Amino acid sequence: MSTITTPTRKVGFVSLGCPKALVDSEQILTQLRAEGYETANSYDGADLVIVNTCGFIDAAVQESLDAIGEALSENGKVIVTGCLGAKKDAQGDDIIQKVHPKVLAVTGPHALGEVMNAVHLHLPKPHEPFMDLVPAQGIKLTPRHYAYLKISEGCNHRCSFCIIPSMRGDLVSRPIAEVMLEAENLFKSGVKELLVISQDTSAYGVDVKFRTGFWNGKPVRTHMTQLVAALGELGASYGAWVRLHYVYPYPHVDDVIPLMNQGVVVPYLDVPLQHAHPAVLKRMKRPANGEKNIERIAAWRAMCPDITIRSTFIAGFPGETEEEFEYLLDFLKEAQIDRLGCFAYSPVQGATANELADPVPAELREERRGRVMQLQETISKQRLQARVGKSLRVLIDEVDKAGSAVGRSAADAPEIDGVVYVKAPYEPHRKLKVGEFVDVAVTASDAHDLWAKA
Ligand code: SF4
């Protein structure tokens, strides 16, 4: 008797870049699994390798090019996707094709269909899909208890330091019913924290004129505030957190703050401000650059005293004078931002800001970045110190053999903020679990993290 065996088709996957690229990787992996492909853990075991690249700053470009080179030498059959795939050099030539002409195919970001076409061409489908073998929430690259939810792709702004719109195109909002269904599947699968991402979360629905969709038989508009309310309500029914990233300070964002105060969504707002001086913001062509951000932040804190504000800034933007930089420092002293990242300006190839007059020398850019971070260290230390002695709800991310754990409070997004180190509970039979919410008492702090006991 003979048996017929279907040959397996194995695809290796290298995922680089930001959470938005990670979501693209998850969608490709989900589709591969749905079509019966397997994933390989080594170059040797793979029939083909997909590299999802990042092209944001020069260091990321180099890392992506190195990863492609490694995949080519170790495996030989390589498909490239992601932001670097859409990037051209100064001569207008495709960067990847120029450095690595042997790659099988190159696509830009958010190109599931094109990537799958290239896969089918070079590694035919193993069999017809058994869609029900794929988990409804798709394949996730994050730990099981948290997940990113991408609500839109692309961006309508043209910030002068950024090349994302040229790589990812204009804003395209996902239909609200599709977003809600994905959120529901994630919660059902055990996700305890949903991180809403996009290039500009506040702009959700602008491209479709805030069209009305339907969720659970009820009309709901494709609009940030309605989406946040619906996600918060859904998350609460599963005992899970919903956290918002990349929110620009438009007036309608004020409508979301009461939802944070009511506990519908986590009181955490990630608002990338990039600078404070009006002239620099104008040169940066930032969205909402006319908003009075100090007043807005004060109003948000009045509406929701527990709110954590995270932001990012750029030091040494072209033309930044010492006076403009000190204006930024004064702003930071007054704004008392809880979580802050600061980058020295990096002249990304293709960004219009590179043509602005009076570029700041690299050394001075770094020095200014250092001054921002030094100031922030003092601010953060004081703000975290104020939490000592208080109780907090923490979501556990890791547990060691002795039972001590690392978790995060509502004030800490994964990967980018601080953590809460939780001492093992005293009860001998009570071991903390990953993905569990625990109430802890804060015992100590430093400039980034907290220590607590369960
Ligand atoms: S808002 Fe500005 S920085 Fe953000 S993706 Fe759009 S163009 Fe880039």
Best substitution site from 18, 152, 157 to test ligand 1's pocket, by max atoms within 8 Å of Cβ? 157
Bridge pairing between strands 420-423 and 405-408 = antiparallel
Q: Is the dihedral of CA 181, 182, 188, 191 positive or negative?
A: negative
Among 191, 270, 192, 184, which residue's Cα sits nearest to residue 231?
184
pLDDT tens-digit series, residues 357-408: 999 999 999 999 999 999 999 999 999 999 999 999 999 999 988 888 999 9
User: Which ranges constitute the DSSP H helices of 238-361?
Assistant: 257-261, 278-284, 293-303, 322-335
pLDDT tens-digit series, residues 137-171: 666 677 889 999 999 998 998 999 988 888 888 99
Closest CA to ligand 1's atom 5: 199
Query: Residue range 84-92: average pLDDT?
Result: 82
pLDDT tens-digit series, residues 231-281: 999 999 999 999 999 998 888 899 999 999 999 999 999 999 999 999 999
Paired tokens of 328: 């930024």
Angle (nearest 5°) at CA 224 between 221 and 226: 45
Q: Is the CB of 169 under 6 A from ligand 1?
A: no
Q: Residue 145: CB partners within 8 Å, gap ≥ 6?
A: 190, 191, 192, 193, 395, 397, 434, 435
Query: Residue range 347-366: average pLDDT?
Result: 91
Query: Residue range 344-355: average pLDDT?
Result: 88
Q: Are 94 and 3 in contact (CB under 8 A)?
A: no
How many angstroms does the Cα of residue 303 sit away from the middle of ligand 1? 28
pLDDT tens-digit series, residues 208-236: 999 998 888 888 999 999 999 999 999 99
pLDDT of residue 2: 38
User: Which ranges constitute the DSSP H helices of 193-344?
Assistant: 224-237, 257-261, 278-284, 293-303, 322-335
Best substitution site from 20, 56, 153, 164 to test ligand 1's pocket, by max atoms within 8 Å of Cβ? 164
Q: Is the CB of 159 under 6 A from ligand 1?
A: yes
Q: Are 296 and 255 in contact (CB under 8 A)?
A: no
Atom of ligand 1 nearest to the CA of 287: 1
Closest CA to ligand 1's atom 2: 159
Q: Is the CB of 157 under 6 A from ligand 1?
A: yes
pLDDT tens-digit series, residues 8-30: 789 999 999 888 888 889 888 88
Q: Is the CB of 227 under 6 A from ligand 1?
A: no
Q: Is the CB of 164 under 6 A from ligand 1?
A: yes
Cα–Cα distance, 222 to 225 (Å, whole number): 9
pLDDT band at 427 (very low <50, low <70, confident <90, very high): low
Q: Are 191 and 237 in contact (CB under 8 A)?
A: no
Residue spans of beta strands (DSSP E) within 124-255? 146-150, 152-153, 172-173, 193-197, 212-215, 218-221, 241-244
33-42, 175-184, 291-300: segment of lowest average pLDDT? 33-42
Cα–Cα distance, 442 to 454 (Å, whole number): 9
Q: Residue 375: CB partners within 8 Å, gap ≥ 6?
A: 329, 332, 333
Closest CA to ligand 1's atom 1: 157
Cα–Cα distance, 37 to 125 (Å, whole number): 7
pLDDT band at 136 (very low <50, low <70, confident <90, very high): low
Q: Are 55 and 87 in contact (CB under 8 A)?
A: yes
Among 421, 360, 350, 450, which residue's Cα sits nearest to residue 92?
350
Among 348, 370, 435, which residue's Cα sits nearest to residue 164?
348
Bridge pairing between strands 152-153 and 78-82 = unpaired
